[in-house]
């Protein structure tokens, strides 16, 4: 599965541009796959489930092993990530 778009932008605010792959799904959702450490594997996946422009949940790989070990969710639907769970 490829990406519909690929961008370079500073997602983390550290002055270094990360690679962001954007996938637009048939159900209207949009996924943003972010490679923070330049190893070719996404360390963050942000999902806009309903295509309204607000991120509904984010999966994070803190240790770089290729497996997501934390999640942040907008549990109230207000556009703010407000619930965090770590593995």
Confidence of residue 13 (pLDDT cuts 50, 70, 90): very high
Contact 75, 82 (CB under 8 A): yes
Contact 68, 61 (CB under 8 A): yes
If one counts the domains in the chain, the total is: 1
Confidence of residue 1 (pLDDT cuts 50, 70, 90): low
Secondary structure (DSSP) of 36-59: SSSSSS-SEEEEETTSSSS--EEE
pLDDT digits (tens, 9 = 90+) for 52-65: 999 999 999 999 89
Expressed as residue numbers, the domain containing 45 is: 5-86
Q: Whole-model pTM?
A: 0.90
């Amino acid at each position: 599965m490829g990406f519909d778009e690929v961008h370079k932008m500073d997602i983390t605010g550290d002055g270094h541009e990360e690679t962001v792959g954007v996938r637009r799904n048939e159900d209207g959702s949009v996924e943003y796959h972010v490679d923070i450490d330049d190893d070719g594997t996404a360390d963050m996946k942000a999902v806009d489930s309903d295509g309204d422009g607000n991120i509904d949940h984010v999966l994070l790989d803190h240790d770089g092993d290729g497996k997501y070990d934390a999640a942040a969710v907008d549990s109230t639907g207000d556009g703010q990530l407000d619930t965090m769970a770590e593995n």
